[in-house]
Amino acid sequence: MTETSRWLTDTEQHAWRSFVRLQDRLLGRLGREMQADSGLSSADYGVLVELTEVPEGRLRVLELARALEWEKSRMSHHLNRMAKRGLIVREDCPSDARGAFVAVTPAGREALAAAAPRHVEAVRRLFIDPLTPAELAMLAQISNRILDQLEKDCG
């Protein structure tokens, strides 16, 4: 028995392509502006945000990779680049010789603190301000519904 795909209707195709185009353009613009303003890439910013949101400023490398939804090799290469710039340090895990921690440095905290105001300003200008409060609430509701589906579908 062969399974046939449920092709997208014109309306569904338009919604999907609009979302993909929005995501690509918005993230691209935010990334370029951040790089120009602060020297941080979007990836650097994501790592630093994750690390500074935990009390000790450090996470297991695999935990950080899961939080960012990155492959292990991408995480390793990116952390090496950030370590060379003094934004993070790697630390051995005393309870697991195979495991490692990554911790934000004072320089990493300073870089994030310097980048955050301009980034938030750009997010507001490009994403928040064009929408009404009701549209923002609906967007959050839709986003959470899809995130819930992703959790159910692939854990």
Instruction: Flag whether the pTM goes above 0.85.
Output: yes
Q: pLDDT, tens digit, for every residue of 133-149?
A: 999 999 999 999 999 99
SS3 at position 155? coil
Residue 43 lies in a domain: yes
Question: Residue 96 above 90 pLDDT?
Answer: no
Residue with token string 């996470």: 59
Looking at residue 111, its pLDDT comes to 98
Question: Residue 95 above 80 pLDDT?
Answer: no
Residue 23 lies in a domain: no
Number of domains in the chain: 1
Q: Which domain holds residue 35?
A: 29-154
> What tokens appear for 3 in the block?
């399974």
Beta partners for 89? 103
CA 116 to chain centroid: 14
- Residue 93 pLDDT class (50, 70, 90 cuts): confident
Report the CATH number that the domain containing residue 41 is assigned in CATH: 1.10.10.10
- Residue 2 pLDDT class (50, 70, 90 cuts): low
